[in-house]
Amino acid sequence: MKSNPDTCIASRRPLPGLALLTLGGLLLAGCAGNPPTEQFALTESSVREAVSAGGTQYAPVEMRTAQEKWREAELAMQKKDYDRARLLAEQAEWDARVAERKARATKAQRAVEEMKKGVQELREEGMRSVQ
């Protein structure tokens, strides 16, 4: 019995798709085993920015949360638990960003209040000089 070459080719068509899926899975698994050095750099930068913006003073809860998660991420990195380290570093980054924005907003709000108070004092002084 002679085999038809078209039948053999047709039966092999799913294999390239399967091979691509397998290769993709291996690539993803390989990425999961890499240290999250880029994420750590982003997180460290975000934490520093939050501290310099006054996060410790104006957003203490958010800042403490960010710093705790950052420490946990560093411990996970030392244990080579890269998936957990990456997740904690991402969470710490976003907590630090919240702390930074909250601190900046609080400082801006206080500046507005002080300006309003200054304007009010000028008005009162102007009213006194008119009388």
Cα separation, 49 vs 44, whole angstroms: 9
| Best CA proximity match to 56, nearest among 108, 107, 90 | 107
Mean pLDDT (the chain, rounded): 83
Contact 98, 59 (CB under 8 A): yes
22-38 pLDDT, tens digit each? 544 444 444 458 999 99
Task: Specify the DSSP class assigned to residue 34.
Answer: S
Give pLDDT tens digits for 36-57: 999 999 999 999 999 999 999 9
Please tell me the distance from the alpha carbon of residue 15 to that of residue 21, in angstroms, as a whole number: 10
In a domain, 53, yes or no: yes
Structure tokens at 51: 């501290």
Instruction: Please check whether residue 3 lies inside any domain of the structure.
Output: no
pLDDT of residue 32: 55
Residue 94 φ/ψ, nearest 5 degrees: -70, -35
The per-residue pLDDT for range 102-118, each reduced to its tens digit, is: 999 999 999 999 999 99
State the residue range of the domain holding 59: 36-130
User: Quick check: pTM over 0.85?
Assistant: no
Residue 80 domain flag: yes
101: DSSP letter: H
The percent of residues above 70 in pLDDT, for the chain, comes to: 75
For the cut 70, the answer to whether the pLDDT of residue 94 exceeds it is yes
Average pLDDT over residues 90-109: 97
> Is position 30 within any domain?
no
Q: Are 97 and 42 in contact (CB under 8 A)?
A: no
3-state class (DSSP) for residue 81: coil
Q: Does the residue 8 lie in any domain? A: no
Question: Side chain identity at 102, as an amino acid letter?
Answer: K
What is the count of structural domains for the chain? Answer: 1
- Does residue 119 lie in a domain region? yes
